[in-house]
Structure 1
Amino acid sequence: MYKQCVVFSPITFLSCICLIYLGWFLCMPGGGLFVSAAAHEKGPHFSIEPTFDLPYNLHPRSYFIYNTTPGAQIIDRLRVTNDGDVRGTVSFYAVDATTAQDSGTMFFHKEDAKHDVGAWISLSQQELTLNAGQSSEVAFTVTVPTNVRPGQHGGGIIAQDLTTHTQKSTTQLNSVEIGLQSLLALGVLINLPGPVVEDLQATGVSYDSGSNYQRVLVDLQNNGNQLLYPSGTLQILDEHKRTLQDLPLSLQTFLPQTSISYPVYMQKIALTAGKRYTAMVHLIYGHEHTLNYTTLFQVPFPDRGPLNTVVQHLIPASTNSGDFFSQLTPWHYGIAIFLLFFLISACFFWGKKISGWIRQLRTKE
């Protein structure tokens, strides 16, 4: 009689080994295939918003906007809330606004000189300490100069969390720690009476050699006194007047008396180094104003560095510090264990197979 027994095939056996190893590796502290999300760090977290209980505006506002006159003085307030779970301190300061390279409003640094709205704002206090969940209001005054151009002026009030928040990411091989300080901004827009001037000018188009992607820079200036939101197209033609690029342009806020080098990325067809191209800019802005600008630009040849520099970027330097085993990772040990069990199971399986064949041959004899 034959006895029934449970036989594990090599595939089943190896699958069990793989599952055991995978569970061990994923559960390793600080290692594994995935990096667990860091726990919520305790600390102060501030938010700011304009108040809306003053005669200037009885409805919620996302930023401060005033229609006023030269020489006027405006008193207003902003509300600060500590949404975190720890007591913290926040500081306040006023800055001028400008236009970011890719359009939209950005604010100068605290150390930068102030010549516009940032110089007109005075805050009632520069620092405020709040308990967790506590809110408070900070008053400020806007004093508009008597001798100032008409039109729109932009600035902002910045709230800086004085607590440095640390974010740490740890893997089996390394650990990275980053210190962050949050900055919150509330825009301040002042509209002054006078002639409305909408004047957008293009001053050049050039190829951006410093970018990792093919793009051109369109130099634009807002010489007027109003916020602009230009839109249109940029066409690039080769020497045979064939259109290689017909790209839509849609700029965000463009502040008056500012200039930018607006980046436009090439699509589908690459520009050839050493060749000259024609750029045609067509923009519509303001009250149906149109800007048409045509110029030539050339794509320069890439800067070829020394050969050894290129090789260093292609072949990383080897590290010989430490012995052989100190440079191994859990992956190396896991693969070694996997191969060892594979060889043992294969020897066991084929050994039994060969033994059975030998017994069958002896029985037949």
Structure 2
Amino acid sequence: MYPSVTRWKTTPAALLRTTALSLLAVVAAVGVGAGPARAADGNVAWTVRTASNSYGEARSSYSYNVNPGGAVEDAMVVANRGPAPLTLSVYAADGFTTDAGQLDLLTKDKKSVAIGAWVKANASSVVIQPGKTAQVPFKVSIPDNATPGDYVGGILTALTQPDQAEGINVDRRLGIRIKLRVGGELKPNLAIEDLHVKYAGTANPFSKGDATVTFKVHNVGNAALSGQQTMTVSGPFGLLKVRAEDIAALPELLPGESWDMTVPVHGVAPTISLATTATLTPLLTDASGSTTPLKPVEVTAHGWALPWTLALALVVLIAALVGAYLYRRRNQAQRKAREDARVRDAVEQALRGPEPQAS
């Protein structure tokens, strides 16, 4: 479950109606606890929670295991905490991992191809009187040709209201996460891609510097996975190895998603050549919440660790050697030219013979 967040985006249709920006406020609430999910915005006057039934009581979210062609039926409970009747639209949407590593749900204008397409509420809207609750049944229908693996999305309630003071339309959403595992062969797999290491030394060629390791974690399997990571940087033959500390946590990635990582490694010796090794242990979480570590993935890449002062000295030395070599070649060429001219003059003198003596 994820805490309530508010997101805003421009809606082009409103720009045609008014000169003010039209914003879409999204309260994608999938509450932390088992109680009802509440929006962070005090203007949202309703809450949502899972219904108590054969799937469980006081669930924090929905979780199903269904084979292709199968279906399940469940319900969401919506409560009106405000003083006026509420008419809320109800729909489902696919989930995705944001740049902040949190689950978010597609807005209604974006096309969903999985959870958002397979989950249908019994009605597209619900009317709730003040202080009352309403149960919203929905059905999850899995296509016969659905690919086995994990899918994440959510079922949402939404209310669009005009904000006269700001001249905008505000669309607030409140929903609950749905995690679905379609039956079939599960192939959990994370890959490390585009591993690179860069070194930044100091003015002292013998002082330690910092390395920056960048890479991409790609979920190339069909299961939602998080992971534990370790990172080492060493010199030739594994000498002077340094382990990275405080590596940022990898969020749970849905199948097909990727995550860019940047890991600083401090105290790296300038050993000319560096080897960085990234080790990633995928973590698979089942429906009960139990986490299982999988076979680690390990990738090694190489880079240079040449202090800039030493590099400058080497450049100067190489330039001096090249200059000396070229100067020597030039002198040799000049001496050879002078010698060739002397020999040529001598040959010409010999061919002309001795000059006649005066009588």
TM bucket (normalised to shorter chain) is 0.5 to 0.7
Question: Residue 280 of structure 1 is aligned with which of 257, 277, 292?
Answer: 277
Q: Which runs of 5+ in 2 are unaligned?
A: 1-40, 198-210, 285-292, 305-359
Report the AA paired with residue 224 of structure 1. Answer: G
Q: Deviations over 1:104-127 (max 9, x none)?
A: 433222222222121111122222
The TM-score with structure 1 as length reference comes to 0.55
Equivalent residues in 2 for 1:184-203 (5 A)? 184-203=174-193
Matched, 1:289 2:302: no
Matched, 1:62 2:60: yes
- How far apart, in 2, do the equivalents of 1:283 and 1:162 lie? 44
- How far apart, in 1, do the equivalents of 2:212 and 2:84 lie? 46
Indicate the SS of the match to 2:116: helix
Equivalent residues in 2 for 1:1-365 (5 A)? 43-53=43-53, 55=54, 57-163=55-161, 181-205=171-195, 218-235=215-232, 243=242, 245-255=244-254, 257-264=255-262, 266=264, 279-285=276-282, 286=284, 287-295=293-301
What displacement does 1:186 show?
A: 1.2
Compared CA separation, residues 164 and 278, structure 1 to 2 (3 A): farther
Q: Deviations over 1:224-252 (max 9, x none)?
A: 22221201223456899664843434323
Report the AA paired with residue 56 of structure 2. Answer: L
- How far apart, in 2, do the equivalents of 1:158 and 1:224 lie? 28
What displacement does 1:200 show?
A: 0.7
Indicate the SS of the match to 1:196: coil
What displacement does 1:101 show?
A: 3.5
Residues 242, 265 of structure 2: 8 Å contact kept: no
Q: Deviations over 1:285-311 (max 9, x none)?
A: 24431011223579xxxxxxxxxxxxx
Compared CA separation, residues 237 and 112, structure 1 to 2 (3 A): farther
What displacement does 1:71 show?
A: 0.8
Report the AA paired with residue 185 of structure 2. Answer: P
- How far apart, in 2, do the equivalents of 1:276 and 1:164 lie? 62
Compared CA separation, residues 100 and 260, structure 1 to 2 (3 A): farther
The TM-score with structure 2 as length reference comes to 0.56
Compared CA separation, residues 133 and 278, structure 1 to 2 (3 A): farther
- How far apart, in 1, do the equivalents of 2:235 and 2:181 lie? 45
- How far apart, in 1, do the equivalents of 2:273 and 2:143 lie? 49
Report the AA paired with residue 99 of structure 1. Answer: T
- How far apart, in 2, do the equivalents of 1:238 and 1:83 lie? 63
Residues 158, 185 of structure 1: 8 Å contact kept: yes
RMSD across aligned C-alpha pairs, in angstroms? Answer: 4.0
Compared CA separation, residues 283 and 265, structure 1 to 2 (3 A): closer
- How far apart, in 2, do the equivalents of 1:217 and 1:165 lie? 44
Compared CA separation, residues 215 and 242, structure 1 to 2 (3 A): closer
- How far apart, in 2, do the equivalents of 1:76 and 1:42 lie? 28
What displacement does 1:198 show?
A: 1.6
Report the AA paired with residue 114 of structure 2. Answer: D
Compared CA separation, residues 58 and 247, structure 1 to 2 (3 A): closer
Aligned residues: 242
Compared CA separation, residues 228 and 181, structure 1 to 2 (3 A): same
- How far apart, in 1, do the equivalents of 2:187 and 2:138 lie? 30
Compared CA separation, residues 193 and 252, structure 1 to 2 (3 A): same
What displacement does 1:82 show?
A: 1.7
Indicate the SS of the match to 1:119: helix
Compared CA separation, residues 167 and 131, structure 1 to 2 (3 A): farther
Compared CA separation, residues 67 and 201, structure 1 to 2 (3 A): same
- How far apart, in 2, do the equivalents of 1:166 and 1:277 lie? 61
Indicate the SS of the match to 1:253: strand
Residues 50, 79 of structure 1: 8 Å contact kept: yes
Q: Which runs of 5+ in 1 are unaligned?
A: 1-40, 169-176, 208-213, 299-365
- How far apart, in 2, do the equivalents of 1:265 and 1:166 lie? 47
Compared CA separation, residues 101 and 278, structure 1 to 2 (3 A): farther
